[in-house]
Structure 1
């Protein structure tokens, strides 16, 4: 009955929203004040899309009671750590050893700490750190840590836990049975934090996400991996790594062949005066074109590259030697290219920088041959720029969890969301730490959107595309929030109306849309307290905007983002992060001033009473929402944390 009611209200809310937003665009935009009127109606359109995504998510809410099959298979429990306190990690490790289902517990120490190794050995749990292959190579943060461990263990299934997530003894008994379905690759359980009091001033608990939203995504086979408290099938991950390796190699080969063609085209123009050289370059261009055509026809990458190597070597042996000065310059340029480690050959790593350097230089015919040979030799090496050629966990984002889950779904695997509290962790205890954590989440999610947009990703069905995009879309809300804060202030301070009039037409359309949207939210939440989440969705608008431009700069201009591990324990008294929250405090001050000025303008008879009332109510709502920021800045941690320490298992 609840599902039917939810669907009816969701449908009505979306229809009412479409009616309101279409009317806003066609009949109520104040074009004379377009600089605020257009951003406002765009923000309202954004919110309508958000309403649609929530309605779509709730349309297929799936509530699971548990697996029908008994648990089976071998399991490795991975506890990931970098610099967390040894005692905290060992508390989790000891709890992991008490999991009832037979398994092997491993500590994955990305910090390679001797004291961590000694503690693991004393407790009798496995200890894994990076192999020497990772020296001088991209580390890929947590994804790299997991990828390294995958090749040193053998369990059919992996239970992944963050360093602070203490598992319940029954966690595998309650999740492994789902893997009886041969296409299930992931079972995600909720994340819950014990050091959070009822007020939850930092908004750490996410009961709406770890509940109705994940259950709704589960109905679309789009519940995704959240980094911890999840069990994954090794076979699915390894298949993902292999397919990713093949895809990356194909992309590298295609890019390299395009570079070779561009380089030979430049060389052909400069060799026209010498018939012998022109013939040499033409023959080489033909070989490269043939390789590109064979690759497009579906021939294997290995066969294409091997035949191209043979062809280039044949052309090289037939080449006449001449133009010694040009030869020496070309060979010197080739020698300057970055060498492969432990290689006696002057081969370079195939990356964008090396390919650009090759394509832009004017080569002599012999230099062109030598350069194409360098390309083909490099293509025969298994990703020398990486520590290992196969990367099962996705490395395209600083948040590997969503990216990996989306790849699994695109490869035809299924996921499960099991809504049962089976592990308990620690949340940030101060606003500064919380902001860093949320920024990393947002940046990672937006990286995935920009690099591997689900709307265009092959392998996903329509529902999966929309479910993934809905999560990414939510991080664009900072721009809409900025407009929602500015619009009432502009009206109260300057009397500039973004709508043509506060008429009956406006309220007759807006009120039903607003009421139905809130009703849908209440029914979907099903009694869960969601106010704190709604506050932070608006109040963190500077963070969401920063995430957008930093992620874009990373993807488009290769500016680094970095990876910050969230501290699991408070160290001393945290300072108030004034630099991070000044936009919110400034917005609050401006809104208060605007409300006062608006009231004075009504008293003076220079402002419309209805418009001032509407915008004052709007300002009051904004201030209530933003008030969470100064409260959180002064927050000094819950007493529950001390209680948890006292009750830790020994």
Structure 2
């Protein structure tokens, strides 16, 4: 262990211990219960920050700086360049650079816009071109994940290098990374950093993420939890296909089990009908027994296709025997079943069973023959060929508007390994205006929260404790918007109204808070090792409305089924229009209130109606908030990248020739 990593561990441990000491004291001895309406939210926000500190400390505890792989690159490779509406010259620049990658491979443009002019350009350059097959017409498209899933079925390379349309690869990208797969057959993913060439040193939009694409990913890598970030990554095809098949089987088993349970309830209800003719009673009772046996067979592992086919055959036979006497009733009941409760969800890529709708279906006043027809329809709805999907197996996860993290987490849950390779091997383009950046960050946050709500890593089977914490830590960070509101409101309330959220600004407070704060900041400095992290810290607070909106909209999507749009990030210059002041009005309003509160607070001290120590503490607090939020004014006025300015795109690791000869 190097001296730096030993220092990181010591500081991480101290940070956690001092944080626990401070927050425990806050809960037990310093909450001003007379002003509980601000005191309690503030201590909850501080508890949130302590948990954030713990998760960061755990992440860095096993940070891993990997040596280059020992094995030479081997295996067949398909390079996928995903595109929807990006400019043709951008896509072709990336594709031509991909074609020049030194290791033998096939280059493919995956055009989700099906543009004839791009097809012609690809053909002229000798580059493969793929778009959705006819099977996708009138079916859920699943955005980028669907585009990749379609291409997986059209190609056969053992490994896939995935690039966004703006990510121009280094010719040695495969030389540097493929060896990891040969070193360890259990590796499914190698992720490399994303780095942007159209960002100056000031980075006013916070596009570069050197702390994440560095120490944080290295920390996650130490726990085998470095995850897929959507581009600049190499994946093993076998791992993805296993993921798709396992997911298909699990979803189908759960859906068939629910459908059979509902069918049994409907048949029992039908059997309880008074004055039921003997022949009908016999058929309904027999089908009830068949459904019960099917549930038992499913639990024992009988193939789903056999179960559903057997139940459907029995149902249809019973219907034929009884159809003539009660044809009119059957037709009336079937019309009631036009909309079934078992269907495919366009975003989730799984059989989604509306429990409430199925309960209503089971309780509906159907004739016995209508109940038999309903059972038949339920079995049809869960056919193994997935008639509602373009393809039965969807390897890349589609439970979120961002497919990357969800796919990586599912791979880890199946026992696969991942690698973070800390070397810039592709150079991309970042948004050049605040409006585009806000949309991009909103989509990232929405996708992450969708994964949390649909596939919570804390309870996900197959993940180790470390992996659970690493994924949860990323998701937890997007809840910071709620804490930020409290951190902004608390000093305003004190300076304007004199309402104190703590019992007193005493020595006890400072002797606990200051060591915790100082050690926490030192930990960041040591972890960063010269990396500029201030911009990232600013945006973690300054984008609080974006984080809150992401949490609310993701919750509405998952719980209430409200749709989320997938917006492709613009990377070909600035969006039309002037500074987007309306889109950052909450932050601007907060800045005004913060400034006014300082003036009022100082006036209250002069008038003798406020405590000087408390006013000083909160004035410093306000000053920090204003400095943090001020980045948005700079970002709103940003005129875009000018090539004459120095570009911050030096490589974080020295590049050397590999120890083998490239083909």
- Regarding TM over 0.5, the answer is yes
Deviation, 1:467, is 0.2
Moved more, 553-562 or 291-300: 291-300
Contact 2:343 2:352 in 1 (8 A): no
Residue 308 (structure 2) pairs with residue 287 (structure 1): no
Which deviations, in whole Å up to 9, do the C-alpha atoms of 1:378-435 show, x marking residues without a partner?
4334111111000010010001000000010001100000000100000000000000
In structure 2, what is the equivalent of residue 80 of structure 1? 82
In structure 1, what is the equivalent of residue 225 of structure 2? 222
- 1:581-596 equivalences under 5 Å are 581-596=584-599
In structure 1, what is the equivalent of residue 395 of structure 2? 392
In structure 2, what is the equivalent of residue 44 of structure 1? 46
Residue 478 (structure 2) pairs with residue 470 (structure 1): no
In structure 1, what is the equivalent of residue 444 of structure 2? 441
Which deviations, in whole Å up to 9, do the C-alpha atoms of 1:551-608 show, x marking residues without a partner?
0000001101110000111256542222320000000000000000000000000000
In structure 1, what is the equivalent of residue 97 of structure 2? 95
Deviation, 1:187, is 0.3
Going from structure 1 to structure 2, the CA distance change for 1:556 and 1:631 (only over 3 Å counts) comes to same
Q: Which SS does the other structure have where 2:293 is aligned?
A: helix
Q: Which SS does the other structure have where 1:569 is aligned?
A: coil
Residue 210 (structure 2) pairs with residue 207 (structure 1): yes
Distance in 2 between residues matched to 1:503 and 1:71, nearest whole Å: 62
Distance in 2 between residues matched to 1:375 and 1:600, nearest whole Å: 72
Q: Which SS does the other structure have where 2:246 is aligned?
A: helix
Q: Which SS does the other structure have where 2:81 is aligned?
A: strand
Q: Give the TM-score taking structure 2 as reference length.
A: 0.93
**Alignment partner of 1:508 out of 484, 506, 511:** 511
In structure 2, what is the equivalent of residue 520 of structure 1? 523
Deviation, 1:358, is 4.1
In structure 1, what is the equivalent of residue 61 of structure 2? 59
Distance in 2 between residues matched to 1:350 and 1:620, nearest whole Å: 50
Residue 124 (structure 2) pairs with residue 122 (structure 1): yes
In structure 2, what is the equivalent of residue 132 of structure 1? 134
Distance in 2 between residues matched to 1:266 and 1:563, nearest whole Å: 44
Going from structure 1 to structure 2, the CA distance change for 1:179 and 1:123 (only over 3 Å counts) comes to same
Deviation, 1:524, is 1.1
Q: Which SS does the other structure have where 1:161 is aligned?
A: strand
In structure 2, what is the equivalent of residue 366 of structure 1? 369
Contact 2:604 2:610 in 1 (8 A): yes
**Alignment partner of 1:532 out of 532, 535, 542:** 535
**Alignment partner of 1:146 out of 140, 145, 148:** 148
**Alignment partner of 1:632 out of 631, 635, 638:** 635
Deviation, 1:292, is 1.5
Distance in 2 between residues matched to 1:23 and 1:336, nearest whole Å: 57
Deviation, 1:304, is 2.5
Distance in 2 between residues matched to 1:196 and 1:293, nearest whole Å: 61
Distance in 1 between residues matched to 2:418 and 2:497, nearest whole Å: 53
Which deviations, in whole Å up to 9, do the C-alpha atoms of 1:453-485 show, x marking residues without a partner?
000100101000000000000000000000000
Contact 1:164 1:568 in 2 (8 A): yes
Which deviations, in whole Å up to 9, do the C-alpha atoms of 1:464-522 show, x marking residues without a partner?
00000000000000000000000000000000000000111111111111111111111
- 1:568-583 equivalences under 5 Å are 568-571=571-574, 573-583=576-586
Distance in 1 between residues matched to 2:473 and 2:71, nearest whole Å: 32
In structure 2, what is the equivalent of residue 551 of structure 1? 554
Deviation, 1:330, is 1.9
Q: Which SS does the other structure have where 2:271 is aligned?
A: helix
Which deviations, in whole Å up to 9, do the C-alpha atoms of 1:339-385 show, x marking residues without a partner?
999xxxxxxx9964985774353211112112212222343341111
Q: Which SS does the other structure have where 1:198 is aligned?
A: coil
In structure 1, what is the equivalent of residue 600 of structure 2? 597
Distance in 2 between residues matched to 1:641 and 1:241, nearest whole Å: 47
Going from structure 1 to structure 2, the CA distance change for 1:337 and 1:586 (only over 3 Å counts) comes to closer
Contact 2:431 2:574 in 1 (8 A): no
Going from structure 1 to structure 2, the CA distance change for 1:229 and 1:608 (only over 3 Å counts) comes to same
Which deviations, in whole Å up to 9, do the C-alpha atoms of 1:147-170 show, x marking residues without a partner?
000000111000000000000000
Distance in 2 between residues matched to 1:375 and 1:573, nearest whole Å: 50
Contact 2:505 2:613 in 1 (8 A): yes
Moved more, 368-377 or 607-616: 368-377
Residue 280 (structure 2) pairs with residue 258 (structure 1): no
In structure 2, what is the equivalent of residue 182 of structure 1? 185
**Alignment partner of 1:4 out of 3, 6, 9:** 6
In structure 2, what is the equivalent of residue 243 of structure 1? 246
Deviation, 1:525, is 1.1
Distance in 1 between residues matched to 2:82 and 2:173, nearest whole Å: 17
Going from structure 1 to structure 2, the CA distance change for 1:275 and 1:572 (only over 3 Å counts) comes to closer
Going from structure 1 to structure 2, the CA distance change for 1:333 and 1:518 (only over 3 Å counts) comes to same
Contact 2:304 2:384 in 1 (8 A): no
Contact 1:271 1:365 in 2 (8 A): no
Deviation, 1:87, is 0.4
Distance in 2 between residues matched to 1:642 and 1:358, nearest whole Å: 65
Going from structure 1 to structure 2, the CA distance change for 1:148 and 1:599 (only over 3 Å counts) comes to same
Deviation, 1:322, is 3.3
Q: Which SS does the other structure have where 2:176 is aligned?
A: coil
Contact 1:350 1:378 in 2 (8 A): no
Moved more, 270-279 or 603-612: 270-279
Contact 1:350 1:375 in 2 (8 A): no
In structure 2, what is the equivalent of residue 647 of structure 1? none
Distance in 1 between residues matched to 2:244 and 2:281, nearest whole Å: 43
Distance in 1 between residues matched to 2:457 and 2:353, nearest whole Å: 25
Distance in 1 between residues matched to 2:463 and 2:567, nearest whole Å: 31
Distance in 2 between residues matched to 1:429 and 1:513, nearest whole Å: 37
In structure 2, what is the equivalent of residue 16 of structure 1? 18
In structure 2, what is the equivalent of residue 344 of structure 1? none
- What stretches of structure 2 of length at least 5 have no aligned partner? 345-350, 648-663
Deviation, 1:34, is 0.5
**Alignment partner of 1:451 out of 448, 454, 457:** 454
Deviation, 1:282, is 2.7
Going from structure 1 to structure 2, the CA distance change for 1:79 and 1:305 (only over 3 Å counts) comes to same
Going from structure 1 to structure 2, the CA distance change for 1:336 and 1:189 (only over 3 Å counts) comes to closer
Going from structure 1 to structure 2, the CA distance change for 1:608 and 1:335 (only over 3 Å counts) comes to closer
**Alignment partner of 1:415 out of 418, 423, 432:** 418
Deviation, 1:323, is 4.2
Deviation, 1:66, is 1.1
Distance in 2 between residues matched to 1:271 and 1:334, nearest whole Å: 23
Q: Which SS does the other structure have where 1:375 is aligned?
A: helix
Distance in 2 between residues matched to 1:114 and 1:45, nearest whole Å: 55
Deviation, 1:121, is 0.7
In structure 2, what is the equivalent of residue 648 of structure 1? none
RMSD: 2.1
Deviation, 1:336, is 7.2
Deviation, 1:144, is 0.3
In structure 2, what is the equivalent of residue 301 of structure 1? 304
